[in-house]
Amino acid sequence: MKAFILKRVLALLPILFIVSIVVFLVIHLTPGDPATVMLGDTATEEQVKALREQLGLNNPIHEQYVHWISGVFQGDFGYSYFMKQPVMDTIISHLGPTVSLAILAEIMAILIGIPLGIIAATRRGSATDQSLMGVALLGISVPSFLLGLFLVLVFAVQLRWLPVGGYEPLSEGLLLHLKYLIMPAIALGSMQIALTARMTRSSLLEVLNTNFIKAARSKGVKERHVIYRHALRNAFLPILTVLGQTFGVLITGAAVVETIFNIPGIGQLIINSVGRRDYSVIQGVVLFVTFTYVFINLVIDLLYGVIDPRVRLDQK
């Protein structure tokens, strides 16, 4: 087990290294730079050039890369020109809202998606099944921004139950925290809920057709126990994969929802940073996101073993 984890973590290094080079080149070869944005729309070229020189943006690109990457190896991801703080601090401060949002969306996927999938699977072919899967299809198809705007219109503008946007950290109270996050979580999570429901249904159906379930049923085991104890556990592997992969998407793909609901998370950070060409932040976030993806996949792999002893990794 330990060797496996070590191997996977070591395999991460070349990935991060390649990503670091690619992102550095792409950003630096894109026209426009932080000096232009910093000095404003009507600054003269002379002023822009002077600031560029001061910021070291005129140095050869390989020198800039070496300077940056050697800092990264020492745990220094650089300094944000606009935030006036180390990049790591910036990422951490923007991580809270995003992870909160992702967890809430994931909880909804689990609490709503899985039960719906089970209901649909056990009533296969019925009107309930078909209407549930119809709704699920809608959930996958409706874009999050549209759903988000619709929710705002109903619950914030018309009913005035919830704020239109913004963010309050958990430290200000759970209820306040949820008040700001519930609508974005629904908008963001609707696709996850639908995906999870569909995956649960198809995976469960597959298991329900196997011989050991037939055996259990013929033995007279209660249908409830058949479903929850035997079938669901065996059907859980693909569901877990979906949940895990979508968690990565939730963390990294919340940009649109964060923009609509004005949540200062990682998605907003990357959009704003590209807009203002805050090089070190863009690089830092991309590296961070890459790391998160690979790390979540690793965790999922390990969780397989917990659920299904057959894939346990420490077996000799």
Give the residues lining the site for another protein (CB under 8 A): 30-33, 36-48, 51, 54-55, 81-84, 90, 93-94, 96, 99-100, 103-104, 106-107, 110-111, 149, 152-153, 156-157, 160, 163-167, 169-172, 224, 228, 259-262, 264, 268-269, 272, 275-277
Shortest distance in whole angstroms from residue 115 CB to another protein: 9
Shortest distance in whole angstroms from residue 215 CB to another protein: 21
Nearer to another protein, 18 or 223 (CB): 223
Nearer to another protein, 130 or 223 (CB): 223
Q: What are phi and psi of 79, to 5 degrees?
A: -125, 135
Nearer to another protein, 33 or 144 (CB): 33
Residue carrying structure tokens 């649960």: 200
Beta bridge partner(s), residue 79: 86
**Secondary structure of 258-309 in the HEC alphabet?**
HHHCCCCCHHHHHHHHHHCCCHHHHHHHHHHHHHHHHHHHHHHHHHHHHHCH
Shortest distance in whole angstroms from residue 165 CB to another protein: 5
Shortest distance in whole angstroms from residue 245 CB to another protein: 17
Put residue 39 in one of left, alpha, beta given phi > 0 → left and psi -120 to 50 → alpha: alpha
Shortest distance in whole angstroms from residue 293 CB to another protein: 18
Q: Say which DSSP state 219 is in.
A: T
Coil, helix or strand at residue 79: strand
Beta bridge partner(s), residue 86: 79
Shortest distance in whole angstroms from residue 315 CB to another protein: 26
Closest C-alpha to 250, from 293, 287, 303: 293
Nearer to another protein, 133 or 183 (CB): 183
Closest C-alpha to 196, from 293, 131, 99, 111: 111
Shortest distance in whole angstroms from residue 91 CB to another protein: 11
Nearer to another protein, 132 or 152 (CB): 152
Nearer to another protein, 45 or 314 (CB): 45
Both structure tokens of 90: 């910036």
Shortest distance in whole angstroms from residue 13 CB to another protein: 25
Q: What are phi and psi of 86, to 5 degrees?
A: -60, 145
Nearer to another protein, 7 or 222 (CB): 222
99-104 CB contacts, 8 Å cutoff, 24+ apart: 99/251, 100/170, 100/177, 100/181, 101/181, 101/184, 101/185, 101/188, 101/250, 101/254, 101/257, 101/258, 101/263, 101/265, 102/188, 102/247, 102/250, 102/251, 102/254, 104/178, 104/181, 104/182, 104/185, 104/189
Nearer to another protein, 4 or 155 (CB): 155
Shortest distance in whole angstroms from residue 274 CB to another protein: 8
C-alpha 311/C-alpha 297 separation (Å) is 15
Nearer to another protein, 72 or 180 (CB): 180
